[in-house]
Chains A and B, each alone.
Chain A
Amino acid sequence: MVAETKKLEFGAKAHVALNDPKLRANFRRAMDGLMTKRAAQFADVAEWTSLRARGAAVRANALAKLPELLEQLEANCRKNGIQVHWAETTAEANAIVLGILEAAGAKTVIKGKSMVTEEMHLNAHLEKHGITPVESDLGEYIIQLAGEAPSHIVMPCIHKNKAEIAELFHDKIAGQAYTENVDELTAAARAALRGAFAGADAGISGVNFAVAETGTLVLIENEGNGRLSTTLPPLHIAVTGIEKVLEKLDDVPPLLSLLPRSATGQPITTYVNMISSPRKEGEKDGPKAVHLVLLDNGRSRVHGDTELRDTLRCIRCAACMNHCPVYTRVGGHTYSFTYPGPIGKLLTPQLEGLDCAGDQPHASTLCRACADVCPVKIPIPDLLVRLRTESVRPTSPGAVKGAGSATSATETLGWKGWTLLYASPLVYRIGTRMLGWFGNLMPSSAPMLKQWTSVRTKPKFAPKSLHELAREKGFCDE
């Protein structure tokens, strides 16, 4: 359950991350590799441009028709025998999942990778009610053993290196000797997980795309754990945000191409699961019951704003974080919430409120590296500016949760002064001349200058401004 009222202390967490040389090296190495692999996938600019335009269009179209498509999805899922549940909040979603499990008498759950269940903090909720969830994605399994949250949305334990994992396995898996041999480590996890798969009463998974036209749940993955989680146990519960819907089956291929190539630089994932019903008469495998839980958790509010709506196009490929100069230095845990990196800075304040996560939109240089690689063309930096604007001056009441929360008298006054200086030629002329005279006298320890001079020398005002020089050199006559 997430009654998250924590005020994000991004700076403080960043301080810890930046001073952890191991973490910084892990991220740098991993992200450099991912960037190179992605670049190789999209070397053909024309292909990238057209595929990306299609991906963006498919997602934008789905969002434009979201209410109808959700109804259609529900109707078609029901027709297929999938039971559909709607959850307004994460608490409701948790209660629904728990209710289904309890009704089935399920005690152990095997989970495929799912960020939305992280958003719900589902594992903690289940554990509190005596149900043991086991994460079956290797990365998720590792962080579950470590008692951590994912630090990346595709590769949840990217912040750890081999030696750290070796140590963790040695500590947490009974009888496991210390080894840095990757094959042996994988084998150890596999052995532990096989038992969990076999004994699980239910499987829980996320959803990559939910196709309204056919009532199909599309799930992509590399390890086969998603397939096992959704076919082996007698009960399968799929959980997804309401934005993941697509209009038709034809919309899936461009996204199936964009997602893994953007994420890990793979041409395609090993598994593409398309789930359209529980086990039918005469079929040999598959769960007896399939449930779909559709979570809103603030998404319909985001959807209500035609500009911010673009946030919901996201297909969770993580390319934006892999290319983000901030994320690659501080890692996902610094963000404190489920979704880190550029998309997190955009999504989190909208889901949790600007009053709670209002620092996040500011943790960006607006360098646009994220927007450059986003396969569905989300203009992340522009939307970050929109959120910054909302936090100081709400555009319409209730547009964004917690809007207006960053209004500070000092800051407003500062910008008033700035405007006074730059919006009037006369004030500018006098003001800048004074700055030129006295500016260099400012001590390095002055507020703001102090942060700047932590690693840089103090900037020096020039003896004569360009305005003065241009006049002297005769450039000013019109």
Chain B
Amino acid sequence: MSKQPRPESVYFFGTCLIDLFYPAAGLAGMELLKREGLKVVFPPKQTCCGQPARNNGYQDEARKVARLQLDSFPGDWPIVVPSGSCAGMMKTHYPEMFEGTPDHDRAQAFSARVFELTEFLVDVLGVKLEDKGQPVTITWHPSCHSQREAGVVEQPKSLLRQLSNVTLIENPREKECCGFGGAFAVRQAEISAAMVTDKVASIEETGATSVVSGDCGCLMNITGAAEKAKKGFKGRHIAEFILERCHGG
């Protein structure tokens, strides 16, 4: 766990999915940081971490896009990312993607500054949450990449457990992939459909009224399937959920 001094300013990386589909989640993430007294800067040149191209085998393309991100966060402040998947990409894959190129050193320095949002809130800021919301029952969905690539496992749950009126029910199948996988959802549409259907069923079985996650790819997949199948639960990004509970949105 990275214990590092509390900075005065942070950068925020919005992610491409959040930018276009879930901006409220991004804004909530920035609000949470701001309310901790930090100066939050959203560099306007940023776009996407480059993961889609990398995962599909288009490395030159991924590097081009990644290089724009290296350029876009010039200071040495931490870079906070409201997505375990993009954080994992930037933490673990940037250095290897630029190996043997003139950008390798700065990619490494960049990676060392990347934090997934809940990781930053817990490990660096040590936030204390005060729940002002109504009693509610939720379950947590960790993205595969947040667990296994960014190494963020306990932090989001510890945040949720701080909320006094929130009952967190563990999904026995929480670690299992929801079937998103970017292009996989289209390339292997039927397998992806089977996976998300199972995921939705396992969430429904917990009896929770909301599934909270730190990744909008998973949320888009899970809530999209739940909505189409008219299931009784909603999906929320953890930043929005916490902001609403503690600060009334």
Binding site for B on A (CB under 8 A): 10-11, 14-15, 18, 325-326, 329-330, 362-369, 371-372, 385, 387-393, 406, 415-416, 418-419, 421-425, 428, 432, 435-436, 439, 448, 451-462, 464-471, 473, 475-478
Contact = CB atoms under 8 A, between A and B. Distances in A.
B186 interface: yes
B181 A419 contact: no
Contacts of B236: none
A455 B53 contact: no
Is chain A's binding surface mostly helix, strand, loop or mixed? helix
A18 to B, nearest CB: 5
12 contacts: A363-B187, A363-B191, A365-B195, A389-B59, A390-B57, A423-B64, A425-B47, A456-B228, A459-B224, A466-B26, A473-B27, A476-B44
B188 A363 contact: yes
B149 interface: yes
A381 to B, nearest CB: 9
B190 to A, nearest CB: 6
A350 B43 CA distance: 43
Given A18-B191, A478-B41, A457 B227 contact: yes
A422 B197 contact: no
Contact of B193 (A330, A369, A423, A454): A454
Contacts of B244: none
Contacts of B43: 476, 478
B61 A419 contact: yes
Contacts of B24: 462
Nearest to A12: B190
Is chain B's binding surface mostly helix, strand, loop or mixed? helix
B59 A475 contact: no
Contact of B190 (A14, A325, A435, A470): A14
Interface in B139-169: 144-145, 148-149
Given A365-B180, A451-B189, A466-B14, A415 B56 contact: yes
A455 B193 contact: yes
Contacts of A468: 23
Contact of B20 (A15, A367, A461): A461
Contact of B41 (A387, A458, A476): A476
A84 to B, nearest CB: 40
Contacts of A432: 19-20
A451 to B, nearest CB: 4
**9 nearest A-B pairs in the assembled complex, by CB-CB distance:** A365-B181, A456-B224, A388-B57, A451-B189, A367-B144, A367-B177, A466-B23, A368-B148, A470-B42
B68 interface: yes
Contacts of A470: 12, 14, 26-27, 30, 42, 44
A329 B19 contact: no
Contacts of B58: 389, 392-393, 415, 419
B48 interface: yes
Contacts of A385: 54-55, 57
Contact of A419 (B40, B64, B185): B64
A477 B40 CA distance: 9
Contacts of A423: 47, 64-65, 67-68
A448 B186 contact: yes
Given A385-B57, A419-B61, 12 more contacts: A11-B188, A18-B194, A363-B184, A364-B184, A385-B54, A390-B57, A393-B60, A415-B61, A419-B58, A464-B23, A470-B14, A475-B40
A366 B149 CA distance: 10
Contact of A428 (B18, B47, B52, B67): B47
A466 B193 contact: no
B185 A368 contact: no
Contacts of A478: 41, 43, 75
A462 B45 contact: no
Contact of B196 (A369, A387, A439, A455): A455
B16 A422 contact: yes
B40 A369 contact: no
B171 interface: no
A389 B58 CA distance: 6
Interface in B207-221: 220-221
A456 B221 contact: yes
B179 interface: yes
A15 B190 contact: yes
A432 B53 CA distance: 18
A173 B141 CA distance: 49
B177 A325 contact: yes
B61 A418 contact: yes
Given A385-B54, A462-B22, A462-B24, A425 B190 contact: no
B124 interface: no
